[in-house]
Structure 1
Amino acid sequence: MPKLAANLSWIYQEVPFLQRFGAAAAHGFKAVEILFPYEAPAVDIAAELKKHKLTQALFNLPAGDASKGERGFAALPGREADFAAALDKALDYAKVLECTTLHIMSGMIAPGADVKAMHKTFISNLKMTADRTAKSGITLVLEPINHRDIPGYFTNTTGQVEQIMKEVAAPHLKLQLDLYHMQVTEGDLTKRTERLFPITAHVQIAGNPDRNEPDIGEANHLYLLDVLDRLGYQGYVGLEYKPKTTTGAGLGWAAKYGIKA
């Protein structure tokens, strides 16, 4: 059965960041994910994880200044030093948090950008990262993000990520399969999930089209969780959604997975 991970950057917004770990544990979560844990010292986060017996399932490399539209550096020519610094920081946090899955954000396509040069830069940075982490036990993941929510994000489709993975040819570079994004961009969720399963290392869900609880909207994400179970998925499923009201009020659907509303 898929293991649910509370995304503390999206849910439990009712309480300050470091209090969200306890809130998640109180509802029965055994794992959490975070977009960017860097707002708190790694040792403080590690203390919360230990206190509440939680696993840090995933977090992102630093991605720059979101207020300026930055969404990562990995595919940006001329920003190689920024990417290397982001990788260093992420690896430091991963060691302290005992996190073994890191999401690498590719970055934004600027007006007039040379997309071929971006692809080349991305491959180069990914190969460097794969080499550095080859013996670390860390899995690196790439996520296609839809252009309705983030117009111009470089990695946009599962096919693009598959091609990038083939070129990098690192066994620990995998797909972060966000079913919400895939529904917006590509659809055909069940068949795509089945086809992509062998390269999938992490899954995220949210209801379509408004990114609320996964039992709300046009896509049957609860059915898709059963599909993942049938396929033998043993990884985490991150809950990366905006609760319609409070986090607790929207968790009734998750009782099957050991979560208490």
Structure 2
Amino acid sequence: MKLTANLSLMYTELPFLKRFKAAHDDGFSAVEIQFPYDTPISDIQQALKENNLSCVLINVPAGDLMQGGEGLAAVPGKAAEYAAAMVECLAYARALKVSCVNVLPGRCSDENKRVFYLDTFKKNLVKTADNLAPFGITTTFEAINTRDMPDFLISTADQMLAIVDELKHPAIKAQFDVYHMALMGCQICSFIDENADKIGHIQFADIPQRGEPGSGTLDFTTIFRCIETSGYRGWVGAEYKPTRRTSMTMQWKRDLAANVALCS
């Protein structure tokens, strides 16, 4: 597997720009960042260069989503705000040479408005993909569990799959998060195996507390083997909340390396 470290959730015991070296020292060759927009592009480029890292994924700015709001991508009245967010994202995505950009659908608390939010989201998703595809960037979107984010517009793997199938856009794929989908009852391995060609990025953390593999109840030996033997060839992002200093939570990575060596 091609592993990345998510610098928004991991190494948070360090200032942001020092997290790049920590990830490199732990053997990662790539990183991903949820929202890099508070840091100048040139500073991130320098940190990547100094540590021989690539940045593979960022999110489109999501407005008030992380503060409990609806976000931007699906709200009918926020077309101008989403367009501005897309422009900002494109500047970072091109400069950092990412392979994927993730669009967070956001929340809809009014069931009567859900159909309109979904329609807006799909239109924005297509616009984003049309803008990013000429630069070789895949547009992804993800489902998030309703325990952590109540009223999230897309919360199951089947809902993601339905949108991918409906839009049939060559540059739009699902971002599959093992943590979120396991909490929603998804059969992780069978979904990845059956839909590998429709997945643009994979992320993982253990359940129930989103810690590192081994801190919860998921069988990551089986999950990692499933990803490796599936048709999926993209990046696999460690996006967990470490239960202690991040560098002390890498036993899963050492176990993975040992299993690869054993099988080779």
- SS of the residue aligned with 2:31? strand
**Runs of 5+ in structure 1 lacking a partner?**
none
**Relative to structure 1, is the Cα distance of residues 90 and 247 closer, same or farther in structure 2, using a 3 angstrom cutoff?**
same
> What is the match of residue 153 of structure 1?
152
Tell me which moved more, 70-79 or 37-46.
Answer: 70-79
Aligned-partner residue type, residue 21 of structure 1 = F
The alignment-based identity, stated in percent, is: 38
CA distance in 2 between partners of 1:71 and 1:237 (Å): 28
> What is the match of residue 209 of structure 1?
208
> What is the match of residue 3 of structure 1?
2
* CA shift for structure 1 position 66: 4.5
**Runs of 5+ in structure 2 lacking a partner?**
259-264
RMSD (Å) for aligned C-alpha atoms: 1.7
* CA shift for structure 1 position 86: 0.9
CA distance in 2 between partners of 1:45 and 1:136 (Å): 20
> What is the match of residue 78 of structure 2?
79
- SS of the residue aligned with 2:200? strand
* CA shift for structure 1 position 258: 5.5
Aligned-partner residue type, residue 226 of structure 2 = V
**Relative to structure 1, is the Cα distance of residues 242 and 195 closer, same or farther in structure 2, using a 3 angstrom cutoff?**
same
**Relative to structure 1, is the Cα distance of residues 232 and 255 closer, same or farther in structure 2, using a 3 angstrom cutoff?**
farther
Size of the alignment, in residue pairs? 258
CA distance in 2 between partners of 1:56 and 1:68 (Å): 25
Aligned-partner residue type, residue 88 of structure 1 = V
CA distance in 1 between partners of 2:103 and 2:57 (Å): 11
Check the 8 A contact 1:61/1:103 in 2, yes or no: yes
* CA shift for structure 1 position 190: 1.5
Structure number with greater CO (CA < 8 Å, separation at least 6) is 1
Tell me which moved more, 139-148 or 108-117.
Answer: 108-117
> What is the match of residue 179 of structure 1?
178
CA distance in 2 between partners of 1:206 and 1:3 (Å): 16
Check the 8 A contact 2:56/2:97 in 1, yes or no: no
> What is the match of residue 132 of structure 1?
131
Tell me which moved more, 176-185 or 124-133.
Answer: 124-133
- SS of the residue aligned with 1:79? helix
* CA shift for structure 1 position 65: 2.8
Check the 8 A contact 1:147/1:153 in 2, yes or no: yes
Structure number with higher helix proportion = 2
CA distance in 2 between partners of 1:230 and 1:35 (Å): 28
- SS of the residue aligned with 2:229? helix
CA distance in 2 between partners of 1:220 and 1:258 (Å): 16
> What is the match of residue 30 of structure 1?
29
CA distance in 2 between partners of 1:24 and 1:40 (Å): 18
Aligned-partner residue type, residue 248 of structure 2 = A
CA distance in 2 between partners of 1:142 and 1:217 (Å): 26
**Relative to structure 1, is the Cα distance of residues 180 and 39 closer, same or farther in structure 2, using a 3 angstrom cutoff?**
same
Check the 8 A contact 1:5/1:33 in 2, yes or no: yes
* CA shift for structure 1 position 68: 3.7
Question: What are the within-5 Å matches in structure 2 for residues 10-159 of structure 1?
Answer: 10-66=9-65, 68-70=67-69, 72-111=71-110, 114-159=113-158
* CA shift for structure 1 position 90: 0.6
CA distance in 2 between partners of 1:54 and 1:99 (Å): 11
**Relative to structure 1, is the Cα distance of residues 93 and 257 closer, same or farther in structure 2, using a 3 angstrom cutoff?**
farther
- SS of the residue aligned with 1:120? helix
CA distance in 2 between partners of 1:4 and 1:52 (Å): 16
- Deviation per CA, 1:116-152, whole angstroms, max 9, x where unpaired? 1111111211222222223220100011100001111
Segments of 4+ moved more than 6 angstroms: none
- SS of the residue aligned with 1:237? strand
* CA shift for structure 1 position 5: 0.6
**Relative to structure 1, is the Cα distance of residues 72 and 66 closer, same or farther in structure 2, using a 3 angstrom cutoff?**
closer
Check the 8 A contact 1:72/1:104 in 2, yes or no: no
> What is the match of residue 230 of structure 1?
229
Aligned-partner residue type, residue 101 of structure 1 = C
CA distance in 2 between partners of 1:193 and 1:56 (Å): 23
CA distance in 1 between partners of 2:132 and 2:244 (Å): 40
Pair 1:188-2:187 in alignment: yes
Aligned-partner residue type, residue 64 of structure 1 = G
Check the 8 A contact 2:193/2:231 in 1, yes or no: no
